[in-house]
Amino acid sequence: MEKYEKIRVVGRGAYGTVHLCIRLSDKKQVIIKQIPVEQMTKDERQAALNEVKVLSMLHHPNIIQYYENFLEDKALMIVMEYAQGGTLLDFLQSRNGCLLEEEDILKFLAQMLMSLQHVHSKQILHRDLKTQNILLDKKKEVVKIGDFGISKVLSSKSKAYTNLPALILKIMRGTFSPISSQYSPQLRELILAMLHLDPARRPTINQIMAQPLLINTIMNLHTDAGKLPCVRINRPLSSMQSTGRGRVSSRGNSTARDGMPVQPQPLSSVFWWGGGTALPTKLPLPNPETQVVQVSAGRTQKAAVTRNGRLFVWESQAVGAETLMPGATEGSSPTLVPRYLEGQAAVTIQHVACGDLFTACLTDRGILMTFGSGVNGCLGHGNCNDVVQAKIVEALLGYEVVQVSCGASHVLAVTNEHEVFAWGRGDNGRLGLGNYASCTSPQPVAVPDNCRPCSVHCGMDCSVILTLEKSLLCSGSNRYNKLALDKPRGEIQDGVERMAVLEEAVVFSPVASAPINSLPIKMVSLGTSHSAIVTEAGECYTAGSNQFGQLGAVADSGSRGGPVLVSALSGKAVSLLACGDIFTVAVTEDQVIYTWGKTSRGRLGRSDRDSHLPGAVGLPKGDSPMTIVSVSSSHGSTLVAATRE
């Protein structure tokens, strides 16, 4: 105890004494639970040690934090976080029968659900959750679950058959006080469902968290975490700083010497070409202060994510058929208007991916949401229904998704624990699940034990996983050897090594064609019948069909060769990459955009006709240099985002 100073005893329980202490190193208040283990039975000692084991496994803002444990004076000392607000029981009793507001109930419930979700993800059951074991912070706004003394750590095959006898009796009786009519019908219905006598009819934690009643509360808790209080100051014009003769500046508008307003320089520019638009065209942004950090293009939609976590899409104002749809005729481009995602004001989006008529977006807390067409089950909601507003993918609520990719009709997602999930159309084995079945909800994907997936990439009829080991795993159609899955046979015929052809793979398999099978890979992109790969050294390789020059190299379009180096880019390190249907886009570190492939309908964004070799795209000149931060191609069009730091 030389590192701590006891202040007072704050509680006594069946297993020991609880002290409020000061940690001398930083003067932080902590709780030390003193448990005299030598005086306990074997089961009692096991319960005490179990709490240490469980607490050390849990790391969540809504769970009492474990610091350390040590033995002193024949007692086990467990040091943990101090919750100054006391227990939830004390808080409720202090209200003298006055009911909580529904908003406060939802706030407490959401935090408990998130903490229990974390507990269950570690294969742990609390088994003693009650108001005495739910603690509050000083402001009585943050919930902290504690007392894991009788919790149970489950093995992967075990089930929670035990429970406490007293708790079993309460559950079997199913009697409780009526719920006040001051609360909404939705809340009352949720509580009744959670208290149903039949366990099979009670909603799971994920189902509860996905209720419309709770979604906004959960999102607000995510976005409010760690925020600092601030006061907005509206400064009069006279207080602004001068920036030169006859001009003052603010973050918004500026005024010139003659009194005429000067438009502020935009923080970002987004360019679009293809689909009948021959040269790069600047797209409108919601306002000059919009700073775009990522874009994604689908067959019929274009989406962007801003630095402050907003998602918006460009909508066509043209009457009639969308010009990007197959079979559309060339003509004047439709007017595109940016629109923020509805209901997203309290959610911070960090990533977006567009498929055919549907979109997936990812929050900064790893929550995946989808909207759009539900054909093929691409939205991951367990059905094929369309969704107008972004909806949480319930099956992945227990995971922290770090990246998602949408193909034309399937989706892959990867978590921070290097787990991969796939859903949507399954033909050609594109889901990597070992079969050709389609799935309407996320399914876990098997990968080799020595591989740690870090990003996923969907094509038209195939998928690729990039691992932390800088290798590629591929599944789906390998036509034209676009996935580099053909293996050398070890035979030479007419001076050429013969290859064992693999038309498709139904599980994720390592690339086999040289030289990609032995090079560290940095990024990959998939087209309809070809792929592009960039190595750690910045070299660009392409594989698959070269019918329209999409490989960027002189190669026999009818042969089924291995990956080829885009020699025209030798000495230019590639930093960004995107494949369309029959063309390729690469951005080099010196901020030059190169395109190659078929020229029709403005796919390449340049006027010259030499399409089989990389050619530079000239973007409209802006007021000052910008850095290209994101490139996305789909079918016949490309989006490029550039920003000023």
**Which residue type occupies 261?**
P
Q: Tokens 């448990």: give the residue.
A: 35
Round to whole Å and give the CA distance between 645 and 642.
Answer: 10
Q: Give 606: exposed, middle or buried? Use CB within 10 Å, 0-12, 13-18, 19+.
A: buried
Round to whole Å and give the CA distance between 143 and 137.
Answer: 7
CA angle 196, 202, 204 (to 5 degrees): 155
User: 105-122 as b/e, with b when 16 or more CB fall inside 10 Å?
Assistant: ebbbbbbbbbbbbbbbee
H, E, C per residue of 461-472: CEEEEEECCCCE
Q: What are phi and psi of 428, to 5 degrees?
A: 70, 0
The DSSP call for residue 288 is T
Using CA atoms, how far residue 302 sits from 69, 528, 616, in Å, is: 54, 19, 23
Q: Which of 509, 505, 486, 511 is nearest to 496 (CA)?
A: 486
Q: Are strands 124-125 and 134-136 parallel, antiparallel or unpaired?
A: unpaired
| Residue 482: Cβ within 10 Å count | 28
**Options 90, 128, 137, 364, the catalytic residue:** 128
Round to whole Å and give the CA distance between 493 and 483.
Answer: 23
Helices 185-194 and 212-224 cross at an angle (nearest 10°) of 90
Q: Give the distance, in angstroms, between the CA of residue 194 and the centroid of all CA atoms in the same chain.
A: 29
Q: Give the distance, in angstroms, between the CA of residue 621 and the centroid of all CA atoms in the same chain.
A: 34
Q: Tokens 């467990």: give the residue.
A: 78
H, E, C per residue of 315-370: EECCCCCCCCCCCCCCCCCCCEEEEECCCCCCCCEEEEEECCCEEEEEECCCCEEE
Q: What sign for the dihedral angle of Cα 335, 336, 338, 343?
A: positive
Does 6 count as an annotated binding residue? no
Contact 642, 619 (CB under 8 A): yes
**Which residue type occupies 409?**
S
Round to whole Å and give the CA distance between 556 and 563.
Answer: 13
449 is catalytic: no
CA angle 16, 21, 25 (to 5 degrees): 135
The DSSP call for residue 160 is -
- Distance in angstroms between the alpha carbons of the first and the last residue of the chain: 51
| Strand partners for 433 | 507
Q: Which of 553, 631, 635 is nearest to 587 (CA)?
A: 631
The DSSP call for residue 445 is E
- Per the annotation, where are the binding residues for ATP? 33
Active site residues: 128
- Per the annotation, where are the binding residues? 33
